[in-house]
Amino acid sequence: MTFQTLQRIHKALSDAQERANETLRYTEEAIARCNRKGMIATSTLLDNQKRSSNDCDELSRAIEDFESYDWH
């Protein structure tokens, strides 16, 4: 693989991680709003939180693996 290709792959992983983090933050804020209003968070919100958290973890591991790989 060329260096440019590796850079594009890393950027795509980083962008996906950023989107997953934003989704997780949004979901956690929505759950916090429900809690402040004394409402119960819906199962959809809780499922989204779990899915987003798993996505963030998986992307973090993928980026860590990518960065630790010896490409030479």
Record the pTM: 0.82
Residue 34 lies in a domain: yes
Q: Is 27 domain-assigned?
A: yes
Predicted local distance difference test score (pLDDT) of residue 33: 97
Please provide the DSSP assignment of the chain as one string. Answer: --HHHHHHHHHHHHHHHHHHHHHHHHHHHHHHHHHHTTPPPPHHHHHHHHHHHHHHHHHHHHHHHHHHS---
Are residues 17 and 59 in contact, defined by beta-carbon separation less than 8 angstroms? yes
Domains held by the chain: number: 1
CA 54 to chain centre: 7
The per-residue pLDDT for range 49-68, each reduced to its tens digit, is: 999 999 999 999 999 999 99
4 belongs to a structural domain: no
- 1 located within any domain: no
Look at residue 10 and tell me if it is in a domain: no
Positive or negative: CA dihedral 28, 33, 35, 39 = negative
Provide the residue range defining the domain that includes 21.
Answer: 15-67
Question: Looking at the domain assignment, is residue 3 inside a domain?
Answer: no
